[in-house]
């Protein structure tokens, strides 16, 4: 294990036109650490997450993965997006493909595996998220929780260095939230580095090492999750936590 953090963001700014959405964000996530991002809607959490794997290009600042800068012209962005997986609120699965095909796709096209290797790796990733019996189903034959687990398997199959989760349970019916959080907790237990935008306080308390609170494109507070939740220092954090209850 190298000494460099798995993910490091330095001075990230992002403009959309004249709108200054990220106003200088620094963050560091160690190997095997789970970092959580919280903050009100529009505070920049998704944009920041998307800058970490260059789905969005930061206007200014640097991102380093395992000590290497990825925010430069030479970096292959497809490689970055495979190395730093992402799980979205709305799953983003291809509707015309089976679960297995959805998971195998990146292995074939980005990791350049043979079809048979990709199928084996995809099946084993789906097994890991508890979907061994659903390999040949299409997304519309699966529940929301199952679809989200397919999306997690799709990231996992790429053997990523880290996975970013953007409100992975907020589109789910309440009874399906736990099955997705359980998979995430297991991954964290296996040492996966994760950055999670979530307001599932009970889950974060158990699983997140670090909590980073966003407000209007800035980090207003950060620290060990339990400390920030139980003794928030910033008024915006207190307001935000009150509103969740
Ligand atoms: P959060 O995830 O915390 O709700 P976002 O990162 O999605 O916040 O959004 C931060 C701000 O950036 C919001 O004002 C949002 O409308 C704006 N924004 C996000 N994506 C885009 C985009 N592609 N084009 C223009 N504005 C955007
Ligand atoms: Mg968001």
How much is the ipTM here? Answer: 0.98
Cβ partners under 8 Å of residue 159, min gap 6: none
Q: Ligand 2 center to residue 215 CA distance, Å?
A: 12
Residue appearing with tokens 């800035």: 218
Query: Which numbered ligand comes closest to the C-alpha of 44?
Result: 1
Average pLDDT value for residue range 216-239: 97
* 197 is a domain residue: yes
Query: Which numbered ligand comes closest to the C-alpha of 39?
Result: 1
* 108 is a domain residue: yes
Q: State the DSSP code for 127.
A: H
| DSSP bridge pairs for 194 | 34, 163
Check which CATH number belongs to the domain holding 83 and give it: 3.40.50.300
* 42 is a domain residue: yes
Distance CA 67, CA 219 (A): 22
Token pair recorded at residue 208: 């997140």
User: How sure is the predictor about 2, in pLDDT bands with cuts at 50, 70 and 90?
Assistant: low
Average pLDDT value for residue range 207-231: 98
Q: How much of the chain, in percent, has pLDDT values that exceed 90?
A: 96
Cβ–Cβ < 8 Å for 88, 166: yes
* 1 is a domain residue: no
Q: Render 55-119 in DSSP notation, one character per residue.
A: SS--SEEEEEETTEE-SSTTS-HHHHHHHEEEE-TT----TTS-HHHHHHHHHHHTS---HHHHH
**Sheet with 193-197, edge to edge strand ranges:** 84-87, 162-166, 193-197, 34-39, 210-215, 218-224
Q: Which residues surround ligand 2, an ion (CB under 5 A)?
A: 46
pLDDT digits (tens, 9 = 90+) for 108-126: 999 999 999 999 999 999 9
Residue 1 has pLDDT above 70, yes or no: no
Domain region containing 51? 7-244
Cβ partners under 8 Å of residue 11, min gap 6: 24, 25, 26, 60, 61, 62
CA distances from 80 to 1, 129, 167 (A): 19, 23, 21
Three-state SS for 87-103 is ECCCCCCCCCCCHHHHH
pLDDT for the residue 233: 96
Closest-lying ligand 1 atom to the alpha carbon of residue 217: 10
pLDDT digits (tens, 9 = 90+) for 120-167: 999 999 999 999 999 999 999 999 999 999 999 999 999 999 999 999
Please name the residue ranges forming H helices in the chain: 45-52, 77-83, 99-109, 115-128, 144-157, 174-189, 201-207, 225-230, 235-244
Q: Ligand 1 center to residue 243 CA distance, Å?
A: 21
Q: Ligand 1 center to residue 43 CA distance, Å?
A: 8
Pocket residues: Cβ below 6 A from ligand 1: 16, 21, 39, 41-47
Give the number of other CB atoms < 10 A from CB of residue 210: 19
Q: How much of the chain, in percent, has pLDDT values that exceed 70?
A: 99
* 207 is a domain residue: yes
Q: Ligand 1 center to residue 130 CA distance, Å?
A: 33
- The preferred substitution site among 14, 17, 21 for testing ligand 1, maximizing ligand atoms within 8 Å of CB, is 21
**Domains held by the chain: number:** 1
Q: Taking all residues of the chain, what is their mean pLDDT, rounded to a whole number?
A: 96
Q: Ligand 1 center to residue 55 CA distance, Å?
A: 13
* 2 is a domain residue: no
* 50 is a domain residue: yes
* 210 is a domain residue: yes
Closest-lying ligand 1 atom to the alpha carbon of residue 197: 2
Closest-CA residue, ligand 1 atom 12, reads: 21
pLDDT digits (tens, 9 = 90+) for 58-86: 999 999 999 999 999 899 999 999 999 99
Q: Ligand 1 center to residue 166 CA distance, Å?
A: 13
Closest-CA residue, ligand 1 atom 24, reads: 16
| DSSP bridge pairs for 68 | 65
């Amino acid at each position: 294990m190298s000494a460099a953090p798995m993910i490091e963001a330095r001075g990230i700014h992002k403009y959309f036109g004249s709108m200054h959405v990220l106003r200088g964000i620094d963050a560091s996530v160690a190997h095997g650490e789970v970092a959580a991002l919280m903050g009100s809607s529009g505070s920049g959490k998704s944009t920041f997450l998307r800058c970490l794997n260059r789905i969005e290009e930061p206007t200014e600042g640097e991102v380093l993965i395992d000590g290497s800068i990825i925010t430069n012209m030479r970096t292959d962005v497809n490689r970055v997006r495979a190395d730093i997986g992402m799980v979205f609120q709305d799953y983003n699965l291809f509707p015309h493909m089976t679960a297995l095909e959805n998971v195998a796709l990146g292995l074939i096209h980005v990791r350049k595996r043979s079809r048979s290797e990709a199928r084996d790796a995809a099946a084993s990733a789906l097994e890991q998220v508890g979907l061994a019996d659903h390999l040949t189903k299409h997304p519309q034959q699966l529940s929301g929780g199952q679809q989200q687990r397919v999306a997690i398997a799709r990231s996992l199959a790429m053997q990523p260095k880290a996975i970013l989760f953007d409100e992975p349970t907020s589109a789910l019916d309440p009874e399906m939230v736990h099955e997705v959080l359980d998979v995430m907790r297991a991954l964290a237990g296996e040492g996966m580095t994760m950055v999670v935008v979530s307001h599932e306080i009970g889950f974060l308390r158990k699983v997140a090492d670090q909590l980073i609170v966003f407000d209007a494109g800035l980090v207003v507070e950060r620290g060990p999750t339990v400390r920030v939740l139980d003794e928030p220092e910033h008024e915006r954090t207190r307001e935000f936590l009150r509103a969740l209850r």
